[in-house]
Structure 1
Amino acid sequence: MKKVIFMSVMALFLSLSLSSCREQTEKEKIIDEMNDEGADIEVSRDGDKIKMETDDKKVKIKTDDDGNVKIKEKTNNDDN
């Protein structure tokens, strides 16, 4: 009986540790980066469109009905 309880507890710890170490998607990374830069973020009502803007960078993220993500990034270069 002790062996069954021990195996159950170990399986629980293993499943929790694997689920907490997931990778961020490119979409999540860009949102976090723009948020850290203090961007103005607008999200559509259904959450399919996200617009983020800083002084020198604009990013648009669109998700279609199939779950495909399109990311458009535009950087303003004042060097010209």
Structure 2
Amino acid sequence: MKYLFKTGFLLLSFSLILTSCRNEQENEEKSEVERLMDDPDNKVEVKDGGDKIKIETAEGDEIKIKKDDGEYKKKIDRADGSESKVKVDDGEVKVKTDN
């Protein structure tokens, strides 16, 4: 009986440790957009219930993310004048970069 109680207690404590570590790891994983939105130095505008997001960074970069009919578009205008566009449509990713 003593052996059964010790084994049960060890298994319970081990499972609690693994669960708490897993939850901590999930909270740390944020996307690039979430990190930019959480930065207090950046100016963030959200429109149309989250379908349009505009972020202006402290460095002068401007990032626009838009969702239309299941299609995502991301446009980045950098302070140095370069521009990048990413379009995701039906799993197909198209990248266009202008320098």
Normalized against structure 1, the TM-score is what? 0.62
Deviation track 1:20-68 (CA, whole Å, cap 9, x = no partner) reads 1232223223334xx25x22211125223211124621111235675x7
- Please say which structure displays the higher CA radius of gyration: 2
Structure possessing the higher relative contact order (Cα contacts under 8 Å, 6 or more residues apart): 1
Structure 1: segments with no counterpart, 5+ residues: none
Aligned equivalent of 2:47: 44
Task: Mark the runs of 5 or more structure 2 residues left unpaired by the alignment.
Answer: 82-99
Superposed CA RMSD: 2.8
1:8-47 map, 5 Å: 8-22=12-26, 23-32=29-38, 35-36=39-40, 38-44=41-47, 46-47=49-50
Quick one: percent identity of the two aligned structures? 31
Determine which structure has the larger strand proportion and give its number.
Answer: 2
